[in-house]
Amino acid sequence: MKRPSSCGPSQSVLLMLLVATTLISANHAFSVRTNDASRVRTVALSVATGMIPPPTLENPTTKSKLKPKPPIPPSPSPLKDGDFDNRLLKYDDEGYPKLGSLMRALPKEIFRVSTTKSLFYFAVDTAACIGSIGFLYAVVTSDIYHSLTLWQQALAVAPLQVMAGFAMWCQWCIGHDAGHSLISKKFKWLNSVVGEISHSVFCLTPFVPWQLSHRKHHVNHNHVERDYSHQWFVREKRDELEWWMKASHATRNVQLPILYFVYLFLGIPDGGHVIPFYGRLWDDHKLKTKLRGLGSSSISMATAGTLWAKMGFADFTVVCMVPWLVMSFWLFMVTYLQHHSEDGKLYTDKTYTFVKGAFETVDRSYGKWTNRMSHHMMDGHVMHHLFFEKVPHYNLEPGTRALEEILGKEGKMDLYKSIETEAYTQEIVKQFNDNWFFVDEKQIIRE
């Protein structure tokens, strides 16, 4: 039997030529120009037969003259052109943005402190305090009020006390700006004047002692041991607490309105604010600073004493102290909720950095008008903690929007915490009842 004949060399070549011709006619796949621009050498045949390798678009020794494909345009940035110059942030080894690069990326406008604008808001809140407290006093001293029974009197003035207390809270926020020297950068003495009037007089909060302790809170925010204004206890070690702290935990649900009073008058946990000189707050301060603190405390005590003497104990309690307790509730609620969240972290000396601590604070929205009247203390808190001596309250809202846009552009929104909290009274009652000042061991980053 004869073997079937195999294809000869000429047939193979012919077949390869046929394939190459088909490739050429289909898409002219591999064509390059030689140095002589007048003629084109078709290399598809040689490539198809394996006689030469395919041409490359880039040659380290010879510059290719193939036109490169146009680059794919980048996806549109959420930032408007020119707002941030499209600058990217710089990061530390743990992936947190460096504060300087973040500041350079933000609009310069949010760092501008306007003395005129600051004094305008101070004037508005001063008028609100005087108007609400004055109207409350007029009601309490009226014949109609005194003709009512005790429970009718309480019901009649309760809405006015809540309104006056909220006005005092808004005024407190202005004094807060003064404590950070954000009323004026040009006339620095204005910060002390506004702070003493806003805090020491209207809010019966000695300005200088509060200013000192509050600054220590900012430079140590979310440090498990060095943070001020907050006392952290490890939940797993609750049995090791002192007896009086256990008693405080057991009665926590009735303490909310008086916790600010305990903080100021008893100095727990930071030290004396009304009676200066004792506690860790004063450990590293000179006598001159302590005397300034005593001056602020004297202003507050003189204000309270004068009002008490003029009004009498009963009217002073109804007109001044009950609204003050309302203000205290607002202050404690806002402060507590801005620093407590289910996934919040605390740090030790070994793991702490300023930026990490700032990003563990929480922005909470209490509703559009509540946020505005409270000078965005709640929904601009992260921005405030990042730049607490640079961004005044009236720039917190645009600053926060810019911060969100930048973090979104950088793919770092996981660092930012924001919680809708319009049911804020229910939230503080629930959180304080469930957690008090406890934190789980797993939330403390020790290594």
Residue 46 in this model has a pLDDT that exceeds 80: no
Average pLDDT over residues 385-396: 98
Decide: helix, strand or coil at residue 233. Answer: strand
Domain membership of residue 185 (yes or no) is no
Q: Return the half-sphere exposure (C-beta side, CA atoms, 13 A cut-off) of residue 195.
A: 26
Please name every residue paired with 370 in a beta bridge, in sequence order, or none if there are none.
none
Domain coverage including residue 423: 206-445
Q: How far is CA 200 from CA 5, 171, 296, in A?
A: 111, 11, 6
- The CA distance from 434 to 123, in Å, is 40
DSSP state string for 333-383? HHHHHHT--TT--EE-TTT--HHHHHTTS-EEE--HHHHHHTTTTTTTHHH
Please name every residue paired with 347 in a beta bridge, in sequence order, or none if there are none.
223, 445
Share of the chain above pLDDT 70, in %: 81
- The CA distance from 63 to 119, in Å, is 66
Supply the pLDDT for residue 191.
Answer: 98
DSSP state string for 10-67? HHHHHHHHHHHHHHHHHH--SEEE-SSTT-EEE-HHHHHTTSSPPPPS--SSS---SP
If one counts the domains in the chain, the total is 1
Mean residue pLDDT across the chain: 85
DSSP state string for 242-286? -HHHHHHHHTGGG-GGGHHHIIIII-TTT--SSS-S-SGGGTT--
The amino acid at 372: R
Q: How far is CA 195 from CA 184, 274, 300, 335, in A?
A: 12, 15, 12, 19
Domain membership of residue 134 (yes or no) is no
Domain membership of residue 122 (yes or no) is no
Q: State pLDDT tens for residues 144-163.
A: 999 999 999 999 999 999 99
Domain membership of residue 48 (yes or no) is no
Supply the pLDDT for residue 47.
Answer: 35
Domain membership of residue 300 (yes or no) is yes
Share of the chain above pLDDT 90, in %: 77
Candidate from 125-129, 150-154, 188-192, 231-235 with smallest mean pLDDT: 231-235
Any residues with CB less than 8 A from the CB of 41 and at least 6 apart, and which?
A: 32, 33, 34
Residue 338 in this model has a pLDDT that exceeds 90: yes
Average pLDDT over residues 7-28: 40
Domain membership of residue 437 (yes or no) is yes
Residue 97 is classified by DSSP as B
Supply the pLDDT for residue 415.
Answer: 96
Domain membership of residue 23 (yes or no) is no
Burial (CB count <10 Å: 0-12, 13-18, 19+), residue 18: exposed
Q: State pLDDT tens for residues 54-111.
A: 443 334 333 333 344 344 343 334 444 344 445 479 999 999 999 999 999 999 999 9
Domain membership of residue 220 (yes or no) is yes
Pairwise pLDDT comparison (334 vs 229), residue with the higher score: 334
Any residues with CB less than 8 A from the CB of 371 and at least 6 apart, and which?
A: 365, 378, 379, 397
pLDDT band at 241 (very low <50, low <70, confident <90, very high): very high
Supply the pLDDT for residue 275.
Answer: 87
Supply the pLDDT for residue 276.
Answer: 82
